[in-house]
Structure 1
C-alpha cells in the first residue's frame, strides 16, 4: 500500500472523532458524489455505502464495466442488490471465519505447526525451516516462503495465479522455497489464506463458502452471495467472494459492535482482539494483524481496513461507529486505491462530521 494511501486513511478517519453523536440520511453526500462521478472527477466507482452507529446514512451506485474474478462481464448497472467482487477483501472475511471455527473447536490453535495439519505432505519436512511455520504465520502472512504477487493477476507468473493453475494448490503453497525465518518477514501471500481456508474446511467438514453461509452470512441477514471456485472446484479464499456493498458494510458493523449483530455473538470478541493486534509492521504507522490492515488516528483510535484489487475496500473505525464499503472497477490499476480513498476523505468523512454536529 502506498504511503499516500496510508496518510489518507489516518487523517480522514481521525476527523470523525471530533464530533458528538446523531445520525440521519446524508442526501448531500450522495448528490455530490453523483456529480463527481458524472464529471469524471472520480473514476471507476461502482458503489459506496456509509454506516454510522449501525445506521446506513448514505449510499450511491453507478454503472460501469465490471469483472467476475478476472473475467469481463460487461457494463453493469450497479445497485443495492448487485453482487460485486471483493477480491482480496475476501482474505479478511476468511480471518473472521477462522475465529468462528476456532471458537467451535474445529480448527487448531494459532500456535500449532502448520505442516502438522497437512500430514499428506510429510516429504516437505526437509529441514529447511518449513517445519517451524505456525498457523499464526499464515494468518499474518509471515510464512517465510518465496511468494510474489507484484505481477498483474493476468500473468501466470503471479504466485496466486500459479497456485490456481497448479495441480495441487496446497502443495504448491507449502513447498515454495524458504527465504526467511517464519514469523519475521511480511510477504503478501494469497496462498497462506488458501491454507487457512483448508483448515476450516477440514475441521468443519464444509467448504469455506458453506461454513460462511451458516456461521456468518445468515446471522447478518446476508441472503445473496457468491464464492467463485477455481478450476479444481475449491472456493478461492484469496479473492473469490462476491457480496453487495450493503452486505459488506454489515460485516463492518459486526466488527464495530465487537462481534455482536442483532444481539447475537457472531464472532468472539477475543478473536477480534487478537485479529486487530498489530503483529508485524508493513511500513511506519501501518501494521498487519490476522488478515487485516491496521493503523491508528492521531488520538490512538483503531482503524481497520480490508483491501481488494480494483478499489474494493472496507474501512472501520469501531470507536466512532463508522463503516464505509466501496466497490470500483479499476482492476490491476496501481492507482486504484485513489478512488476509494477520495470517497472516504472528500465525501464520507465531511458528511459524517456535519451529522455529528447536528
Structure 2
C-alpha cells in the first residue's frame, strides 16, 4: 500500500492524528506533535457508536429486550402522551434515528443546543412532538441517543461509563477516558466521550473482528452485523451520505474507472473531523482526529479524497493476486 501518498496529502491539513491499521499492523501513525498520541481527543458524535456497542452487549446479555420493543417500557409517560403514535417508538427507532421526533440537531427551537440548556434532557426529548411516523425516515437526533443512554443505565443497573469499563473499555485496555454527563448524572449518549486515538483504533478493530478481542467475544457477531448494516438512507447533508445503521454510518467508495476496486465501509463520525472508518475487505481501520472548531469542510473529505483511493488501489492489487 502506498502510504507515502496518504501522509503527503495529510500534511497540510494539520489533523491532530491519523492512524491506519491493516491486518493488525499500524501502517500509518501520524500526529501533529508527539504529545497528541497520549492526549484525550474529543470524539463528539463518535460517542454514539460506543453507546451502540454497549447496547448490543446489553442485548446479548439479556439485560435489554428485543430492539423492536417500544421504549414506553422504560418511559411509560409516552403512553399518556396526547399523540398516541409516540407509544410506537421502539429501541430500533432510536438506534436508527427514525423516532420521528421533531428535531433540528443544530439550530431551531427543537435542537441539540436547546436540549443541553434544559434541566432535564430526557424529559425535553420525550416532550418533543412527532414530525413523522416512527420508522418512516431518518432525522439525526442526539436526543434519541440520550434516551438510549438513560434506559441503558436503568437496564444494567449502573452508570453507562461503569458498564463500559466492565464490558468494553476494560477488555480493550482503555484505561484513560473522560465521559460527560447530563444534569441527572446520565452519561451523554450522543457526544461527550474523550479517548486517545489508539483506543479509538482498538474499538474499530473490535468491530472489524466481528466483536471478538484476542479470541474472546465481547459482542456477538450477529449484533455487530446488524449494528453496522444499512438500515435507512441517511439524510442528504454531509457527512450524512450513504445509509445509517445502529448509530453507525455505512457507505461505499467507488473509484473512477481504472482507479482501483470499490469497497464498502462503515464508520463513526463526530463533528469537526473525529472519525473511525472500518473497511472489512481490506482488514483496515482508519482513525482521524481534529481540533478544528470552525465550519471547515476539510475533515469531511479526508477519508474519501485522500485515503480511500489508496485503499481502492490496494484492494485491486489484492484481488489481482488471487485470480
Alignment TM class, shorter chain as reference:
0.7 to 0.9
SS of 1:88's partner is helix
Question: Aligned partners of 1:287, 1:338: CA distance in 2, in Å?
Answer: 17
Give the CA deviation at 1:183: 0.2
Q: What is the match of residue 66 of structure 1?
A: none
User: 1:55 aligned to 25, 31, 42, which one?
Assistant: 25
Q: How does 1:155-166 map to 2 (within 5 A)?
A: 157=109, 159-166=111-118
SS of 1:237's partner is coil
Q: What is the match of residue 141 of structure 1?
A: 97
Question: For structure 1, which segment, 235-244 or 123-132, has the greater mean C-alpha deviation from structure 2 after superposition?
Answer: 123-132
Question: Aligned partners of 1:172, 1:283: CA distance in 2, in Å?
Answer: 23
Q: What is the match of residue 102 of structure 1?
A: 59
Question: Aligned partners of 1:31, 1:180: CA distance in 2, in Å?
Answer: 45
Question: Aligned partners of 1:337, 1:317: CA distance in 2, in Å?
Answer: 17
State the Cα deviation string for residues 268-296 of structure 1 (Å, max 9, x = none): 11101211222111268711111111113
Q: What is the match of residue 131 of structure 1?
A: 87
Q: What is the match of residue 178 of structure 1?
A: 130
Q: Does 1:244 align with 2:228?
A: no
Give the CA deviation at 1:354: 11
Going from structure 1 to structure 2, the CA distance change for 1:51 and 1:352 (only over 3 Å counts) comes to farther
Going from structure 1 to structure 2, the CA distance change for 1:322 and 1:27 (only over 3 Å counts) comes to closer
Going from structure 1 to structure 2, the CA distance change for 1:267 and 1:354 (only over 3 Å counts) comes to same
Q: What is the match of residue 213 of structure 1?
A: 165
Give the CA deviation at 1:161: 2.0
Give the CA deviation at 1:185: 1.1
Asked whether the 8 Å contact 1:309–1:332 carries over to 2, the reply is no
Q: Does 1:222 align with 2:174?
A: yes
Question: Aligned partners of 1:338, 1:271: CA distance in 2, in Å?
Answer: 29
SS of 1:277's partner is coil
Q: Does 1:294 align with 2:275?
A: no
Question: Aligned partners of 1:124, 1:56: CA distance in 2, in Å?
Answer: 53
**TM-score, with structure 2 as normaliser:** 0.86
SS of 1:326's partner is strand
Question: Aligned partners of 1:178, 1:131: CA distance in 2, in Å?
Answer: 11
Give the CA deviation at 1:217: 0.9
Question: Aligned partners of 1:158, 1:323: CA distance in 2, in Å?
Answer: 35
Question: Aligned partners of 1:224, 1:354: CA distance in 2, in Å?
Answer: 38
Question: For structure 1, which segment, 279-288 or 130-139, has the greater mean C-alpha deviation from structure 2 after superposition?
Answer: 279-288
Asked whether the 8 Å contact 1:275–1:290 carries over to 2, the reply is yes
User: 2:8 aligned to 32, 37, 45, which one?
Assistant: 32
Asked whether the 8 Å contact 2:46–2:191 carries over to 1, the reply is yes
Give the CA deviation at 1:134: 0.8
Question: Aligned partners of 2:263, 2:305: CA distance in 1, in Å?
Answer: 21
Specify which structure has the bigger relative contact order, considering alpha-carbon pairs within 8 angstroms and separated by 6 or more residues.
Answer: 1
SS of 2:198's partner is helix
Q: RMSD between aligned alpha carbons?
A: 2.8
Asked whether the 8 Å contact 1:286–1:294 carries over to 2, the reply is yes
Going from structure 1 to structure 2, the CA distance change for 1:61 and 1:158 (only over 3 Å counts) comes to farther
SS of 2:44's partner is coil
Q: What is the match of residue 257 of structure 2?
A: none
State the Cα deviation string for residues 304-346 of structure 1 (Å, max 9, x = none): 0111001001110112101100001123515141345445247
Q: Does 1:167 align with 2:130?
A: no
Going from structure 1 to structure 2, the CA distance change for 1:301 and 1:31 (only over 3 Å counts) comes to closer
Asked whether the 8 Å contact 1:314–1:324 carries over to 2, the reply is yes
SS of 1:129's partner is helix
Question: Aligned partners of 2:18, 2:93: CA distance in 1, in Å?
Answer: 33
Unaligned runs of 5+ in 1: 1-15, 17-25, 64-76
Q: Does 1:91 align with 2:43?
A: no
SS of 1:313's partner is strand
Question: Aligned partners of 1:210, 1:294: CA distance in 2, in Å?
Answer: 29
User: 2:16 aligned to 46, 53, 62, which one?
Assistant: 46
